[in-house]
Each structure stands twice: as structure tokens, then as C-alpha cells.
Amino acid sequence: MPSLQTLGLTATLSVFPLTVLAHHGVSGQFDMSQSYEVTGTITRISLVNPHAYVYFDVADEGGDMTNMRCELTSGSLLRRSGWTEEMFEIGSEITIEGSPDRDDPTTCHMNEITFANGVTANRESTFGEDGTLDVAEREVVRADGTPNIDGNWAVANPRERGGGRPSVTLTDAGEAAIADASPEQNPRFNCQPTNIVMDWVFNGMVNAVEQTETEITLTYGFMDLVRTIHLDGDTPDAIEPSRAGYSVGNWDSDALVVTTTGFDEGWIMAPIGGRAGVLPNSAEAAERPEHPERPEGGRGPQPVKNSTELTVTERFTLSDDGTVLTRDYAFIDPLYLEAPIEGVDEVVLTTDAYRPYDCEDLTNERTE
């Protein structure tokens, strides 16, 4: 494994444009159009979910120390890519090129990190094996004649997954449902699952699939959501509403067709923007230290709620070599949506282990 370069952070270096996307950057917590370099001494590393952080002391011209932190990607994804706590030796120097937090001048979004040994890494860097499975070790078709989707699956490169939020038209009831929406209600900021579609590919976590002739169990790597696709019956009359809902599926030739109902009211697109989980009032904002080059606004795109009338349809298909699982999906909610929200995503077979998410959100650690 290549050694990592020390993170050296200099808090007053030049600002220059940088084109980088991350879910907090898109949401407005970080100003991704700006970048600076800072050098400091590592004091702590937390490889937790949903976001890992490295903490370090930075000295100003007068010798006064400020403890800063920079957000990495999720701890699970870092570990899957070969990152370890040992790379971040306490007391060693690091240099980070990052983008500023819009509200907190002691927090940044890490774009590139250089360790004391001279190794430079970015958010996409991996150390060790890439986890690709040898297809010769696997049967593509099961004994019962159905495609074999049993195993562990993850987005091949979550940062290259294109798209963005689709255009959505809400009904009057859908507009009323989001009238008081705020980031505090975002399930991800409270270590809760959002929905069965978005969480399947969010943050590149490893999902586990267990397949039998009568049911398929999906255990999500993000927020540990578990759902069962029932292959041997119809939807029962009485369902306890939940985030996972109740899924019924059948094999249509080589495609797994799934219909899920029985959802509780929740989010299709959760509210994001400003500081994740915090909307400071004017008095609070006035007391915060001024951040250089801080842009106006920072609110995220329109949130979308689902009602208990939501139906999600999914169609899973397996590639000929059995290594890519494609899902076409649709959110159908006649109460809140004027038209279905449709999309497609892909995950690839991996030998990486499923790991419990064990969410510990440190986003607001310095505002509490």
C-alpha cells in the first residue's frame, strides 16, 4: 500500500476555482467554487459515517493555534478503499487543499490531502485491491433458472454517477407538505434512512443481497435499512407503514419486477441546504466569525415528500456476465406528485464485505 503524505494546512493561502461535487457541496454546506490550502498537525481522526473528519491544529502568524477539521467521505467508503486510522498519525503534519464551509471557518471539505511521507491522495484514491470479483467463481443462473443476484453489490464509482435531481412537479398537497421543510428534518442528518431508492446507491456503500426461491432480502450498507422482496404472494391487506414498505416481486423472464407499498410519510428528496442540520437565525449568524469569500444563499434544491399513497416500482436486470445489476425505478404518488419520478442506477458485484453503517453524525459537533 502506498504511504500517505502528511496533511499540511495553511489557513491563509490563495483561493482559486475548483470543480468538485459532493453531496454536502451540492446541498450548500460547502462553497465548492472556492479552494484554499492549509497545513497543520493532526490531533484526531474519526472514520465514522456518514462523514469522516480529520482534525488538526493550525498556527497563525502570531503563533496562536486554531483547531480545524476537514470532512472526508464516509468512513465505510474510506475503509473499503483501503484507508485506515494509521495513515493519520497523531502529531504528524498534513496539508489539505479544500473548499470552505459557508458558515464555519474552522471546517472544510477535503479535496486533496498530502501526508508527512509525501503521498498525496484525493477523495477517490484507493489503497490495495479494488474488490472486483472473478466471474469464473460465480454461477450467473441459479438452479431454479432465475438470475443469480445473491451477493454483495456497490456503486463502482459513486462520484462518477451522473444525473442530479430530476425535475419534479408537486400537487397542491405536495407543496403544502414541504411548506415548513428544513434541514433539521433530513433523515440523514439524524442517522435515519431516507427511502429504498436513494439509499441503495448513496455514498457508495456495500449492499448485501440474500436470494432464495421465495424471497430476496436486501440489506443496505447506508443506514442499515433492511427490506424483503416477497416472491410467493400478494400484498397483505394490513401493513404497518414503514420506510422500507412491503415489497412483492416476480420474475418476468430474466427481470425481477418489484412493487412496494405500505410506506410511512417521509422524503423522496430530503431538505438540504445551508449548514447541514442547522439554519441559524440572524442573531446567531451575526455572532459567527466572518468567512472570506462567503457567497450569498446556500440553500439547496426543492425537497419532495411522499405520502402514505406512495408506490415504488423497480425492475432489476443482471448483465450477461453477472457482474452488473441495473435497476429502473419510479416513485408514484398521486397525492403529492403530478407525475412519477423515474430513474435508473447500477451497482457492481464486489468481494468487499458488508459492514454495519453505525451512524455517528459529527456535522454539527461544533455548533452544539
Residue 299, pLDDT > 60, answer: no
Q: Extract the C-alpha cell encoding 61.
A: 502568524
- Which pLDDT score is estimated for 164? 53
The whole-chain average pLDDT of the chain stands at 81
Contact yes or no for 11/68 (Cβ under 8 A): yes
pLDDT exceeding 70 applies to what percent of the chain? 78
Q: Extract the C-alpha cell encoding 7.
A: 496533511
Q: How many CB atoms lie within 10 A of CB 128?
A: 12
Task: Give ∠ CA 308-314-320 in degrees, rounded to 5.
Answer: 165
The CATH number assigned to the domain with range 23-122 reads 2.40.50.140
Q: Extract the C-alpha cell encoding 138.
A: 460465480
Return d(Cα 354, Cα 358) in angstroms, integer: 12
Return d(Cα 72, Cα 51) in angstroms, integer: 6
Residue 222, pLDDT > 60, answer: yes
Q: Are strands 207-211 and 107-114 parallel, antiparallel or unpaired?
A: unpaired
Contact yes or no for 100/12 (Cβ under 8 A): no
- Residues 6 or more apart whose Cβ sits within 8 Å of residue 216: 149, 209, 210, 228, 229, 231, 249, 256
Task: Give ∠ CA 191-197-199 in degrees, rounded to 5.
Answer: 30
Residue position matching grid coordinates 500500500:
1
Contact yes or no for 236/246 (Cβ under 8 A): yes
Q: When comparing pLDDT for 20 and 93, which is higher?
A: 93
* Exposed/middle/buried for residue 261 (C-beta within 10 Å: 0-12, 13-18, 19+): middle
Q: Extract the C-alpha cell encoding 354.
A: 458488508
Each residue's pLDDT tens digit, 27-47:
478 888 888 999 999 999 999
Domain ranges of the chain: 23-122, 135-290+300-350
Each residue's pLDDT tens digit, 320-364:
989 899 999 999 999 999 999 999 999 998 877 888 998 887 766
Mean pLDDT of 15-34: 52
Return d(Cα 90, Cα 93) in angstroms, integer: 9
Each residue's pLDDT tens digit, 106-164:
999 998 898 888 777 888 777 765 433 344 567 899 989 999 999 999 987 554 444 45
